[in-house]
Amino acid sequence: MKTKIAVAKGDGIGPEIMQAVLKIFEANNVPLDYEYVEMGKSYFDAGHSTGMTATAKATIEELGTLFKGPMETPKGKGVKSINVTARKVWNTYANQRDFRTLNGVETVFSKAGIPINLTIIRENIEDTYGGIEHLLTYDVAVGRRIITRPGSAQVIRYAFEMARRKGYTKLACGHKANIMKLTDGLFLETFQEIAKEYPDIQSSDIIVDDLCMKLVTQPQNFQAIVLTNLQGDIVSDLCAGLVGGLGFAPSANIGDNISIFEAVHGTAPDIMGKGIANPTALLLSGILMLRYMGLTENAATIENALLYTLERGIHTGDFGNKSTPAATTMGFADAIIANLGQVPADGGVVSKGNLELKATHEHLLKNKLTVTRGIKEEMVGVDVFVEANDLQPAELAELAKKRLTDNFDLVMISNRGTQVWPTGSIYTELVNEYRVRFEKKAGKTVTQKELLHIAADFSEDAKVCSVEFLMKFGDKIGYTLAQGQ
């Protein structure tokens, strides 16, 4: 029996490379049927603000698997990226990208005889990709970076399970917890807790800037790395550069119910319609999809044919030996089809059940809500962010003191995260947005209403831009100190 999946051809070169990949699937008798859905730039232009029709959304949610070509989000129209929207709406929380040395794809490392075979697992729906940004003043923009314990646990557990399936012995957590102590700190803390459940896998953590240096000097030392969204986005493209570029970088977006497999390179409108685009990245993404769906024999046969074709020097115009003629998009696909059943001399793959993840899909009736229960919470103060165009820190402090009651102390004023009152430096350059911190006195109990009243009262003397409560969870404070505090 055939399984039906949703297919979106994409923009630019998308329809051409999708046609090539599906032709290879057909030649290998892959048991899939395709429901084509309407997504991408033309649907933004037609007035669909999400970049997809309601019918497309319903189809994908019915079928559970989307195979998509590269898509363009119109610039300057205030709309969100269709790629990010799709990942977030359907909670595809783990982005998996596999990077390996490919015969016939020459890189600095292949010339040096250094093999690369590593996997990046990137958290896929949180972090700065929430796109929650505000101009607090004309001069000050703020973006919210959202890292959650349930979201971190989902992607980290997936990374450990993936490592175990692939037979990896090492998994590293890339992070910036030395600076972002609460957000990256939460991600790292969750990694360390879950690592205890996988004693067969050597777990480690590495600061992301050090990770990038080591990846470009000794990538062979890594097997799998899990990171937060933005850092994972950057590091995964770095790794693509190690193996030849985004044209050789497959991508799988895995969720509990819906998953998306896509090429992550651009739409290349400059070569659209010329029949010269490289379909390799989309084909490798399709191979990931076949394995995910349990079609492991088809996946292995097609991947071996691709590797054999590359090994023989057949290439499109963007890579390979420039002294030999470049194949067209369909010519490259036809060469792979002709090589179905062949196995490369170096780096062939076999179908192994323990390497694969069988797709699941459940028709949900309501949104899933995950909450950590049983943690004692206490409100201990408030940060009031205010605009003050002409006030020095000491002058702002005098206004803030007018808001004090018997329950509160004024403990700190910062500017761009650096303390400027009660101590600071005259050499700290200021912008017109300050953070004013009030904390409750020892032994006092305060309410949310009291904290909001401070901000409301402050608004009589200064523009209040934002308010954040200071929380304590058990024995752990839920806020950071200012630099210099």
- State the pLDDT at residue 370: 85
Decide: 175 and 203 in contact? Cβ < 8 Å. Answer: no
Per-position pLDDT tens, the chain of length 485 = 899 999 999 999 999 999 999 999 999 999 999 999 999 888 888 877 788 889 999 999 999 999 999 998 777 556 678 888 888 889 999 999 999 999 889 999 999 999 999 999 999 999 998 889 999 999 999 999 999 999 999 999 999 999 999 999 999 999 999 999 999 999 999 999 999 999 999 999 999 999 999 999 999 999 999 999 999 999 999 999 999 999 999 999 999 999 999 998 999 999 999 999 999 999 999 999 999 999 999 999 999 999 999 999 999 999 999 899 999 999 999 999 999 999 998 777 766 655 566 667 777 778 888 888 889 999 999 999 999 999 999 999 999 999 998 999 999 999 999 999 999 999 999 999 999 999 999 999 999 999 999 999 999 999 999 999 999 999 999 999 999 88
Beta strands at 377-387 and 463-473: parallel, antiparallel or unpaired: antiparallel
Domains of the chain and CATH, by start:
377-477 (3.30.70.1570)
Q: For residue 191, which phi and psi values (nearest 5 degrees)? A: -60, -45
Q: What is the DSSP string of 198-263?
A: -TTSEEEEEEHHHHHHHHHH-GGG-SEEEE-HHHHHHHHHHHHHHHT-GGG-EEEEE-SS-EEEEE
Collect all residues with Cβ–Cβ distance below 8 Å to 104 and sequence separation of at least 6: 310, 311, 312, 313, 314, 315, 319, 320
What pLDDT, on a 0 to 100 scale, did the predictor assign at position 73? 77
pTM assigned to the model: 0.91
How is residue 423 annotated by DSSP? Answer: S
